[in-house]
Chain A
Amino acid sequence: MNSEHKMPSIWKILVLLLTMSFLMVASVSAQDVAVGQATATVQTPLTVTAIAALAFGTIFQGVPVSVAETDASAGIFTMTGQAGSGISLFLQLPEYMSTASGDDRMIISFSTTDCAIDTTANADPTTFGSGWTAQNPFNLPSGVIIGTASTQTSLFLGGQVLPSVDQTAGAYSADIILTVAYNGT
């Protein structure tokens, strides 16, 4: 009996705490908003974010591993800024990955269809929205814009690693650099 009476209060606490947590999130988001009577021009900054690194998982000697740009393991960059603004994108891609000591290298390659650019709010490579598919990462398309509805554009990147049969076991690393600039300023 007691437990049945406690149920409504538990639900009330649950609802109250949930509402508070969402209000906290909303208040955090609202901290950038200034209230006043002055008018001002707001320049939307261009922000590049690396959501996920291109991940090949565990690799074995002599067994190439490929990740498609539509794979869940694809690398993901997102660009946010002023909706509809033209941007230029440029990727700098490595030709090999190396061990921390630099005593061995492993080839990494990118095909001419290893990149996709999605101008919707989607940042999931497996559920492409709209934009450019199967693009050359060494020559990204012109005319890319920040998504008009989402104020976001995502870039998905696939690739392939080619370990040799006598590849030294261990950890290899390399850099992938994405440069973004507004076209209209």
Chain B
Amino acid sequence: MKKKFRIPIGVNSQQSLWGFFIILLLLTAPVSQVVAGVIVAPSVVVLDDKSKTGRMNLQNPSNSPKEVSISFSYGIPESDSLGNVNIFLRDTGITDPHSALGWVKAFPRKLIIPANGSQVVRFIAHPPKDLQDGEYWVRVVVESQEGITSIPVATDEEQITTQLNMIMRTAVMLKYRTGELVASVKLKDTQVIVNENDVDVFVDLANTGNVSYIGLLECQLLDADKKVISKNHIQLALYKDLLRRITLPFAEGNFKKPYSVAVSVTNKGRKDIPTSEMVFGNDLSTSISLVE
């Protein structure tokens, strides 16, 4: 025989309701306590020969203090033969004359940002004499970790416990500009590899100016009537020579052959960098027909 259970309405139900309410509050509490690292802004610091100073804001949005240290490395985007891009940070053996490593200082270099606090880090450049016109680069490495770390103690004398400190580093570009600035890009080569489902476009670019060329690289796969089959773009940061790859898929549709690929390079339209910090230069465009 089945028994029907009914929750009695009364004092007990009130208690259970308040219990439910407390549990719900506990469950929703993490929503407002999102774990976060140190926020570093801006994403590019620009210094010039007039003021020779700059600043960076560090914000700790977490509820625990963060230990932060500032250091410098050299690293610009470099590409491999497949058009993959990486930034390799180096501290020694730098031969690039555009390196600013060693003559830009940060104040302070070590700090503890309290919970939900912020701190300004200032930079000052001491460039060498007779520096040629152009742009000089260094990466500001902001390293942060929890302000207080403790290794868990083994509960048993024969046991082993471990603590791996997860340290976060953000490498932000710092640019020092002096004299007349020229942004210029040259297209060295463009190659297209047709695959079964897509097209790989390899765009080989050279920086012919004296500043980094910051812009956009866009490729479009077009049909015989110039209808866009597919398109893609990437943010471009050209410090030296750079090979970039963009993949364009063959989309379904009523497209007429022969197809072609239109390539364009511009340093207009970057919405993530203030216009005042951009050095505008030339645009490029080219078109490649796909071999049947």
Contact = CB atoms under 8 A, between A and B. Distances in A.
A43 B38 contact: no
Given A21-B28, A43-B273, A176-B166, A169 B154 contact: yes
A163 B160 contact: yes
B159 to A, nearest CB: 5
B80 interface: yes
Contacts of B156: 58, 169
B44 interface: yes
A143 B84 contact: yes
Given A88-B85, A142-B84, A184-B235, A50 B41 contact: no
Given A48-B168, A179-B89, A180-B171, A25 B154 contact: no
B43 interface: yes
B115 interface: no
Contacts of B36: 47, 49
Contact of A185 (B80, B166, B214, B271): B214
Contacts of B32: 24-25, 28
Interface residues of B, number: 68
Contact of A46 (B25, B40, B160): B40
Contact of A43 (B43, B160, B237): B43
B63 to A, nearest CB: 12
Contacts of A48: 37, 168-170
B31 A172 contact: no
Nearest to B21: A14
A156 to B, nearest CB: 12
10 contacts: A47-B39, A49-B168, A58-B155, A90-B89, A142-B86, A143-B84, A161-B162, A169-B160, A172-B151, A183-B235
Interface of A: 3-4, 6-7, 10-11, 14, 17-18, 21-22, 24-25, 28, 40-56, 58-61, 75, 77, 81-82, 85-86, 88, 90, 94, 97, 100, 106, 141-143, 161, 163, 167, 169-185
